Chain A
Amino acid sequence: MFTAFTVRCCWAVILGGFLLPPLSAHAQAQAVVTGVVMDEGSHPVPYANVQLAGTLLGAATDATGHFRFAAPVSGAHQLHASAVGYRRTTRPVQLVPGDTVRIQFTLAVDTVLLEEASVTASAYTVSGTDGTMDPLEAVTTPGAMGDLFRALQSFPGVAQVGDGAGLYVRGGDLSETKTVIDQSTLHHPYRYESPAGGSFGTIRPFLAEGTTFSTGGFSARYGNALSGVLAIDTKDQPDARRFRGNVGLAAVSLGLDTPLLDEQGGLRVTGNRSFTGFLFRLNGQRDDFETAPQGLDGTLSLTYDYEGGQLKAFSFARRNRMGIETAAGAFHGLFRSRSTNQLHSLQWSTRRDTWIGRTSVAYSRYGSRDRFGALDVEPVEATYQFRSDWDRALGSRFTLSGGVVAMREQSAFRGTFPARPGRWGEDAARLRIDDQLAATRTGGYVELDTDVRDRIRLTSGIRADHHSRAQETTLDPRVAIAYQFGEQTQARLAWGRFHQFPDLETYAQHAGTASLGAQQAQHWTATLRHRRGPFRLRLAGYLKPYRALVVPTGDATYANVGSGIARGIDAFTKYGGFLETRLSGWLSYSFVQSRRTQVRQRGADVTLERGPAPFDLTHQVTAVGKVRVVDMLFAGFTARHTTGQPVTPVVDALPQGDGTYAPVEGPVGSERLPVYRRLDLQLSYYIPLGPGQHLTVYAAVNNALDRANVIDVTYTPDYRTRTEQTTNFRRSLYFGLTMTL
């Protein structure tokens, strides 16, 4: 009866009997996980997903926010809770078979923590953060003249000095804000450069997929910038073929976007010819120009997507020229400038497991010839850059970032400079320079972003930079902590140390023996953000002490002996968005006090003195409004009121014996220009032509009230008579049309 097979079966059953009971017991005595998921207002979150990390074990909450599930595992585990519209939250749990673990989750509304005054731009993304501006918002901002930099000037913390497009961030100089494109620094981001920056930014808004504008307390990711960073990511590959055209009073442009290689690749190409002569003639403002500003530029972007990454090649080249009658101090003359600017970069983006990396190499070159009296210079700058940034999520609470940068700058300076500050005349003493310089900057950073508790996020990082010409290594720790009050309010405190090395032009002009080192600033910032429906509100206060600033100390000598302090308050409120709400707009207010060491000329002598910086514009209020009037007709305005710019008056003049005079200046920044006010209007009509195709006709009146805003003062050669120099941007009409097919 008992065959061998039966015996084996019995053994199997017996063996199974030994093995199965513990497993069965284990299955019967599972740990039970139960609890509730609430929002920050203590309301239940129905249908949230609660799940043991790395397993399928979990449950959805019911309509009352409660959940319960059995877990046939034991020991320490992580329990996630997530729901649409909320930030995922993780809690540790210790599971013991037979026990019941009770957990309460409080989910915070999903918010994105951004840098100070972040401007997140993407043509189709509404990030929901305050200070959001996409390219469409930028080009439809009246007075911005379709320029991203000018649109950014309507934000708080950015002083608009005179008529320029320069970004003077929180009491800092123009050179203290860096522009980065696809990881590569663009050293000359302005067109038609002037002391106030330039007339426009180099990068056109619709080339940008995403833009982050950081006005303080920014990440260790960015170095060699004392005040701000404008980081622009150019667009990725297009999803459809599109032709774009624009014809306006001052420019004609064409563009083509097309997918390539069965949509694995993409091409974007643009060409633009700008000519302001007709615009100025039409508006009766041609007189000052010997050559009206004009230029030619083009961009080319090629992308290739492969499994796990993307390669992107981006090139832009620009050529500009202009000539204008202008004045500096007592000298009146013709300023002529022509320049070429180009940037070529290759970027590799990849995702490997939990790592996300971006690495780029770039070459940029800027060359110009500027002539004005004794000034006749032909600088050429070439830069080779390598940069690699990597991010890795470590669990659900930590993100580790790190990266390196290496930059080789080569500059050739040839020409003549005035030997004495402020002495521009054709017959003024000149300093001849024919010099070539090179410097290498290398740097690296590590940053850890930590979700400390459900409401608290801590970001801490450190970066180091070395500059071969300064022969100095700097170390910059930075830390920021953010706290989420309820669903709609966030507070953030940040502190950091920031260094910036002098540019090569300063090294070239420096004839002294002492080396010039890095300049330093500290940022202390406190920010409060609140959002409610379509409203955004942001309040920020900051304190920024400077030290080791490079200032002129005599004839062709400089030293790190300057210091300064900037403090201020930024307030910003925004309602809606263009094309999102019928009415939209924002109101920004900046209060700033910026004092720093400056040169005071007393005849032949030069002394250093601390006083209000030229960009110390105490109060600046900007209001921007846009409205859909009827059907697809849009109207908008930008109104701006800014405290007058500080100027250093000339109180006397000393004859030099050769028929010229040397100015004797009063206290630096002791007088101010009159208040700057301006109103810009814009009207546009949008005509859809079909899916993805449209025609927009637009007209703008800039400086509609025709105010003769004063932007500088000039003097007669003997300094006895002072004249206020008024804006070149009096009331002017501009119109044109753009078409996308």
Chain B
Amino acid sequence: MRTALMIALLFLFSTAPLAQAQPADSLMHHGLDVLERGVTAGDVDAMQQARAAFERVATAADDAAQAHYYVALANYRIATRILDSDEDRADALIDDGIDRLDAAIEAQPASAEAHALLSTLYGLKARGGMFSGMRYGPRADGAIERAQQLAPENPRVLLLHAVSLLNKPSRWGGDRDGAIAALNRAIQQFEAAPPSDDAFQPRWGHADAYAWLGIAHMNGGDPAQARAAFEQALAVRPGYSWVESGLLPQLAAK
């Protein structure tokens, strides 16, 4: 028994540089941490670093579906941040994100998370106005419908569906009240969601749900509700730059 223990110790020592605690997982954890910090601080550089980490895993790993998903998520975060300042790069990131999610969905067709995020990226492509809306709107709708079929109560599916309802023109099915209802449902689901054993299962979105709820109320002319929602977002994610430096000042200026 002791001999076996010694051999195990010896093996552990001698293979330490190779094992590196499963480097793909390690790199994914690193990417998730950096992305989390980057999103909170509104630090595009950090988001880019996180994206690069996910891309390395996506390139080298055998099962790259999750890495592709996170590359797309990083792209989404960066693109929404730079949309006004560098539209060409934002477009390239959105296109790349769509390709990544296509790859993720090809590997895991039943991934509601991937379908929902794909819908959002198509929605961003459709943002250019009526022309783009006609091209990409149906694709965005198709993807979110698929996500809803697969996981109707997934909080991110609810969140991204709500974002879609908020951003679409009413003649394409935009519905602010419907969005508020979906956001409230998403918040309930975020708060009720049990902790997952899978460290790489998507966990993001709780603070975003409050932020988007605030936006819905702000656009609906209800500043008190909007402020309450923004404050909730900051309670969930303290220091969330988008809310703290963007949405709250915007509300105050109204």
Contacts from A to B (Cβ < 8 Å): 5, 8-9, 11-12, 15-16, 19-20, 23, 26-27, 46-49, 51, 54-56, 58-60, 63, 72, 80, 82, 84-85, 124, 239-240, 263, 579-580, 632, 686, 688, 690-692, 694
- Is B178 part of the contact surface with A, judged by Cβ < 8 Å? no
Do A49 and B55 touch across chains, with their CB atoms under 8 A apart? yes
Do A49 and B136 touch across chains, with their CB atoms under 8 A apart? no
* Measured CA separation A686–B133 after assembly (Å): 13
* Measured CA separation A80–B55 after assembly (Å): 12
Point out the residues of chain B lying under 8 angstroms from A72, CB to CB.
17
Given A47-B48, A579-B135, A688-B172, do A16 and B96 touch, yes or no (CB 8 Å)?
A: no
- Kindly list 20 other residue pairs between chains A and B, CB separation below 8 angstroms, not including A8-B3, A9-B6, A579-B135: A8-B6, A11-B6, A23-B16, A47-B45, A51-B60, A54-B60, A56-B23, A56-B27, A60-B52, A84-B89, A84-B93, A124-B139, A240-B138, A686-B134, A688-B171, A688-B172, A690-B173, A691-B137, A691-B138, A691-B141
Nearest-neighbor residue (CB-CB) of A689 within chain B: B171
* Measured CA separation A124–B140 after assembly (Å): 12
List 14 A-B pairs, Cβ < 8 Å.
Answer: A9-B6, A23-B16, A47-B52, A48-B52, A55-B60, A59-B52, A60-B48, A60-B49, A85-B92, A124-B136, A240-B138, A579-B132, A579-B135, A692-B138
Nearest-neighbor residue (CB-CB) of B7 within chain A: A12
Interface size class of B (residues with CB under 8 A): 35 or more
Nearest-neighbor residue (CB-CB) of B94 within chain A: A84
Given A8-B3, A691-B137, A692-B137, do A16 and B14 touch, yes or no (CB 8 Å)?
A: yes
Specify which of B51, B57, B132, B145 is in contact with A47 (CB 8 Å cutoff). B51
B93-108 near A? 1/0 per residue, CB < 8 Å? 1001000000000000
* Measured CA separation A580–B89 after assembly (Å): 18
Given A60-B49, A63-B45, A690-B173, do A16 and B13 touch, yes or no (CB 8 Å)?
A: yes
Specify which of A23, A51, A124 is in contact with B56 (CB 8 Å cutoff). A51
Do B56 and A56 touch across chains, with their CB atoms under 8 A apart? yes
B1-44 near A? 1/0 per residue, CB < 8 Å? 01100100110011011000001100100000000000000000
* Measured CA separation A239–B122 after assembly (Å): 14
Do B49 and A47 touch across chains, with their CB atoms under 8 A apart? yes
Point out the residues of chain B lying under 8 angstroms from A580, CB to CB.
131-132
- Is B75 part of the contact surface with A, judged by Cβ < 8 Å? yes
Given A84-B96, A240-B142, A688-B171, do A694 and B134 touch, yes or no (CB 8 Å)?
A: yes
Specify which of A15, A27, A49, A694 is in contact with B17 (CB 8 Å cutoff). A27
- Give the dominant DSSP class at B's interface: helix
Given A63-B45, A239-B142, do A56 and B57 touch, yes or no (CB 8 Å)?
A: yes
Total residue contacts A-B, CB cutoff 8 A: 105
Given A27-B17, A63-B45, do A579 and B145 touch, yes or no (CB 8 Å)?
A: no
Min C-beta distance of A137 to chain B, whole Å? 12
Do A690 and B52 touch across chains, with their CB atoms under 8 A apart? no
- Is B219 part of the contact surface with A, judged by Cβ < 8 Å? no
Nearest-neighbor residue (CB-CB) of A4 within chain B: B2
Min C-beta distance of A643 to chain B, whole Å? 37
Min C-beta distance of B129 to chain A, whole Å? 10
Nearest-neighbor residue (CB-CB) of A62 within chain B: B45
- Is B237 part of the contact surface with A, judged by Cβ < 8 Å? no
- Is B130 part of the contact surface with A, judged by Cβ < 8 Å? yes
- Is B59 part of the contact surface with A, judged by Cβ < 8 Å? yes
Point out the residues of chain B lying under 8 angstroms from A20, CB to CB.
13-14
Min C-beta distance of A396 to chain B, whole Å? 11
Nearest-neighbor residue (CB-CB) of A351 within chain B: B106
Point out the residues of chain B lying under 8 angstroms from A48, CB to CB.
52
- Which of the listed residues B17, B96, B132 has the most CB atoms from chain A within 10 Å of its own CB? B17
* Measured CA separation A296–B39 after assembly (Å): 58
Nearest-neighbor residue (CB-CB) of B28 within chain A: A56
Point out the residues of chain A lying under 8 angstroms from B52, CB to CB.
47-49, 58-60
